[in-house]
């Protein structure tokens, strides 16, 4: 079983491997009880968003990490994947600019991907 930092690392790496745009990891543990980390990225199209979501799910499933909840897959503009201690947000560019989670969570620490522990 992975800890929250490792889950965030696997998710971020999976997104980068599938060419997600502007992958960011926010440490939100001090600001909310919802999760320890948010992983945020953009896809270039609704098809790309779906491919990114599928890859994160596949890679975390290979470590035995089960997706607790998935929201937004039908709209393909913002998909939220809840892994308990880590929430992955996959947006289209337009939706990401509109919802602007980075601004809403601007008090959160931005974690460099290279600083996250490998599983």
Total structural domains within the chain: 1
Would you say residue 118 lies in a domain? no
Q: With a threshold of 0.85, does the pTM exceed it?
A: yes
10-68 per-position pLDDT tens digit: 999 999 999 999 999 999 999 999 999 999 999 999 999 999 999 999 999 999 999 99
Segments forming the whole domain that contains residue 83: 4-110
Residues for the chain: how many in total?
119
Would you say residue 60 lies in a domain? yes
Would you say residue 61 lies in a domain? yes
Q: Do residues 59 and 8 make contact, with C-beta atoms less than 8 angstroms apart?
A: no
Would you say residue 84 lies in a domain? yes
Per-residue confidence (pLDDT) for residue 1, from 0 to 100: 87
62-102 per-position pLDDT tens digit: 999 999 999 986 777 999 999 999 999 999 999 999 999 99
Locate 96 and state its tokens.
């990401």
Q: Is residue 56 classed exposed, middle or buried when 0-12, 13-18 and 19+ CB atoms within 10 A define those classes?
A: buried
CATH number of the domain to which 80 belongs: 3.30.460.10
């Amino acid at each position: 079983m992975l800890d929250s930092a490792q889950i965030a690392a696997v998710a971020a790496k999976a997104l980068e491997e599938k060419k997600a745009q502007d992958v960011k990891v926010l440490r939100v543990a001090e600001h909310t009880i919802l999760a320890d980390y948010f992983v945020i990225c953009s896809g270039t199209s609704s098809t790309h968003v779906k491919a990114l979501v599928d890859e994160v799910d596949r890679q975390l499933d290979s470590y035995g990490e089960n997706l607790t909840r998935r929201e937004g897959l039908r709209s393909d503009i913002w998909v939220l994947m809840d892994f308990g201690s880590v929430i992955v947000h996959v947006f289209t560019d337009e939706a990401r600019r509109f919802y602007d989670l980075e601004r809403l969570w601007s008090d959160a620490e931005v974690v460099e991907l290279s600083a996250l522990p490998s599983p």
